[in-house]
Amino acid sequence: MAKKFVLSRNYFTNFNPILVRKLTNKRVRWIIKQLNRGTPIKEIAAVMRVTPRRIYQIQRQYRETNVIPILKQARRKLKPIDPKTQEPTP
């Protein structure tokens, strides 16, 4: 007799992972407004093209702090300029 496996619907989304969007602070505020109105999480995730898990994370952060989460600016760390390279060459 073969083993039966149970698959979760959370990991199988209806959209292509290539089309997943990055969130902005404006979109996070919109998500919080929709959660307060009672919109289903799956519907919000589909509109924003993110996973339902990400919506749950935002919701949890908002409930714990009661402040709308602000996203970090992802960028490379700046390296200090070497004084030798900073001087103009003759």
**Domains observed in the chain:** 19-68 (1.10.10)
Rounded to the nearest integer, the mean pLDDT of the chain is 78
Residue, of 70 and 5, whose pLDDT is higher: 70
pLDDT over 80 (residue 12): no
pLDDT over 90 (residue 56): yes
Distance from C-alpha of 50 to C-alpha of 44, rounded to nearest angstrom: 8
Q: What is the pLDDT of residues 19-30, one digit of tens each?
A: 667 888 888 999
Distance from C-alpha of 25 to C-alpha of 62, rounded to nearest angstrom: 13
Would you put residue 25 in left (φ > 0), alpha (ψ -120 to 50) or beta? Answer: alpha
Percent of all residues in the chain with a pLDDT value above 70, rounded to a whole number: 74
